[in-house]
């Protein structure tokens, strides 16, 4: 069966970040996680407390282990580790944990500027929220794009405000749409996060979240499955009142349908997530990332479908 998808060098039927790096940089590119020492407005009492219900005390940066070292030290140590596996690789410093624009312009500058003139750095990546981007920070980051690519990751998770309320997101879909209007006039590369399997979301709701993203100027999308991490708020909620957790088969079906509706030029930067064996409560099938990715590939090949084949339908 012939693969009809054009943005691929292998068997993938969706536009991977690996393909983008290989075709644009002709080299391996590694993301180096860095702890930016931030909080979130739904964690520190500004808008709410406790953070998103699925989030651990380390934010989304479980693999950083709460490093307290300065930015460049974290970067060089992480790069050294990765260089043992991928010699001479290019890098992307990745500010991952919590909300990495939730601070003053001076703090954002102190994070970004050390990496602007490192030759091996091809982009600087900041994970954040739609309600934590002031005009002056957007203007500064856009100015930085004259030197390096700036990736801005927005954790939307779902377009549905009822879901956002359930997970204590403390911002609305309209907040997201408002900031996207500002970002579309910049050269900042925007990546949006979606999370499947959130409490009480239906199949149609998850598909609609993906379809709605086509209206925006996006560089990439990250798709993730809800992880119930031990001792998080959602873990305790689930103990008291269990809700349906997606099976592997259901997740594969949903992901493939989301891909089919997404514009083929949007890079799928992640299609499943990593969990730590010691802290993950459920679903345990998410521990084997390779199996999940392979099942998605097999499903798409078997049904002869690919990213964007239902775009605008």
Does 63 have pLDDT greater than 80? no
Domain positions in the chain: 17-302
pTM: 0.94
- Two structure tokens written together for 114: 């050390």
Q: What CA–CA distance (Å, rounded) separates 40 from 157?
A: 16
**Ramachandran class of 104: left when φ > 0, alpha when ψ lies in -120 to 50, beta otherwise:** beta
- Two structure tokens written together for 33: 């996680």
Annotation: CATH topology of 17-302? TIM Barrel (3.20.20)
Q: What CA–CA distance (Å, rounded) separates 191 from 127?
A: 9
pLDDT tens for residues 208-261? 999 999 999 999 999 999 999 999 999 999 999 999 999 999 999 999 999 999
Measured between its terminal Cα atoms, the distance across the chain in Å is 24
**Three-state DSSP state, 49:** strand
**What is the pLDDT confidence band of residue 9, given thresholds at 50, 70 and 90?**
confident
């Amino acid at each position: 069966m012939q693969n009809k998808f054009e943005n691929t060098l292998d068997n993938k039927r969706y536009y991977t970040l690996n393909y983008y790096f290989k075709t644009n940089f002709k080299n391996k590119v590694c993301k180096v996680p860095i702890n930016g020492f931030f909080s979130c407005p739904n964690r520190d009492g500004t808008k709410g407390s406790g953070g998103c219900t699925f989030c651990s005390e380390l934010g989304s940066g479980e693999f950083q282990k709460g490093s307290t070292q300065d930015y460049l030290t974290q970067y060089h140590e992480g790069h050294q580790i990765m260089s043992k596996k991928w010699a001479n690789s290019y890098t992307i410093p990745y500010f991952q944990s919590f909300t990495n624009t939730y601070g003053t312009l001076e703090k954002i500058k102190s994070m970004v500027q050390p990496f602007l003139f490192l030759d091996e750095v091809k982009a600087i990546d900041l994970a954040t929220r739609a309600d934590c981007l002031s005009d002056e920070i957007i203007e500064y980051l856009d100015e930085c794009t004259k030197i390096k690519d700036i990736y801005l990751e927005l954790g939307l998770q779902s377009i549905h405000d009822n879901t956002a309320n359930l997970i204590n997101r403390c911002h609305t879909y309209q907040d997201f749409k408002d900031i996207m209007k500002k970002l579309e006039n910049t050269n900042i590369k925007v990546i949006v996060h979606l999370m499947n399997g959130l409490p009480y979301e239906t199949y149609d709701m998850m598909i609609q979240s993906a379809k709605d993203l086509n209206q925006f100027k996006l560089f990439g999308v990250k798709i993730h499955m809800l992880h119930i991490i031990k001792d998080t708020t959602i873990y305790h909620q689930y103990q008291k009142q269990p809700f349906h957790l997606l099976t592997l088969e259901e997740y594969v079906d949903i992901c493939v349908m989301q891909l089919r509706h997404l514009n083929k030029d949007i890079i799928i930067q992640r299609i499943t997530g990593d969990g730590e064996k010691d802290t993950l409560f459920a679903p345990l099938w998410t521990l084997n990332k390779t199996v999940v990715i392979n099942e998605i590939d097999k499903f798409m090949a078997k049904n002869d479908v690919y990213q964007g084949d239902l775009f605008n339908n």
